[in-house]
Amino acid sequence: MLRIIDARTGEPVDAAPARRGLTRVEVHAPGSDTTNLRVLLVADLLVRALELGGTPVWALLTGGRRQAELRAEATALGIRPFEDSPDVSAGLGEAQVVHVAVEGGAATGGVRIDVAPAHPEGPGMPDDTRTGSGVLRLALLARHHSAPARLEAAALDEARAILARWRGSVARWARLPSRPVPDEVRGRLRDAWEDDLDVPRVLDVLHRVESDPELPDGARFETYAYADRLLGLDLTRDLGSPS
């Protein structure tokens, strides 16, 4: 069961308290800077985690005057589209409403996830948002959403190297016989992301899987493909490419 920390109370709550009940995810991103982009990324992770658990989701975006620019940056980062937020006062009978917003932003009703700021090294948006490479996405995922993210050149270089290595490894592992994701590994992945979307722990599991000499490469491939349903890093992008 996915549990998140409600920023209003500091207490963990179920993101989907009713079995198969609809959860409405409402994103509050009034700007188009890297912090607001991070808010959308956290909401994207939340939607993915809920869907992996079988929960239907209605995902909405309420923004400001630069919403079109923000949506373009989000698409480049692999964030799936959110609907424009209508007058939803009546709702659709949802069992839960979760608001995702910038830390210290305007107050909202319902459960709230606060997202700490993301600080680029220089002014403006890092170029990686426009390449479709996933580098910025991975750099942001490497820090828990409650902790500030400093997007210095070294952090982006590290993310770039890890992403290239993982995509190359996944392409190689895919050439070997498939093996199921080990139950223990699957459990560690789900325990991580169901604990307040602790994606850094998910990445730690993948690092251990990468270097575990006991795991067959076919199981590594399936593990990375499974985890990427949450991460959205397009880790299988290079399948079929020359070695």
Residue 240's pLDDT is: 76
Nearest to 112 by CA among 11, 189, 33: 11
- Same domain, yes or no: 74 and 135: no
pLDDT digits over 166-200, tens only? 999 999 999 999 999 999 999 999 999 999 999 99
* Structure-token pair, residue 229: 């349903």
Question: Across-strand partners of 60?
Answer: 26, 83
Q: Give pTM, 2 decimals.
A: 0.92
DSSP, collapsed to helix, strand or coil, labels residue 213 as coil
- Same domain, yes or no: 111 and 131: no
DSSP, collapsed to helix, strand or coil, labels residue 156 as helix
pLDDT range class, residue 68, cuts 50, 70, 90: confident
pLDDT digits over 123-173, tens only? 655 655 444 569 999 999 999 999 999 999 999 999 999 999 999 999 999
Q: Please name the residue ranges forming H helices in 151-182.
A: 153-173
- Same domain, yes or no: 137 and 40: no
DSSP, collapsed to helix, strand or coil, labels residue 203 as helix
- Indicate the number of domains in the chain: 2
- Same domain, yes or no: 234 and 151: yes
Residue 34's pLDDT is: 93
Last residue of a domain, one of 96, 115, 134: 115
Question: 227 lies in which domain range?
Answer: 126-238
pLDDT range class, residue 92, cuts 50, 70, 90: low
> To the nearest whole number, what is the mean pLDDT of the chain?
89
Indicate whether 106 belongs to any domain. yes
CA-CA distances (angstroms) from residue 103 to 108, 167, 242? 12, 33, 45
- Same domain, yes or no: 62 and 142: no
- Same domain, yes or no: 53 and 104: yes
Indicate whether 121 belongs to any domain. no
Indicate whether 63 belongs to any domain. yes
Nearest-10 Cα torsion for 158, 182, 15, 27: 30
- Same domain, yes or no: 149 and 219: yes
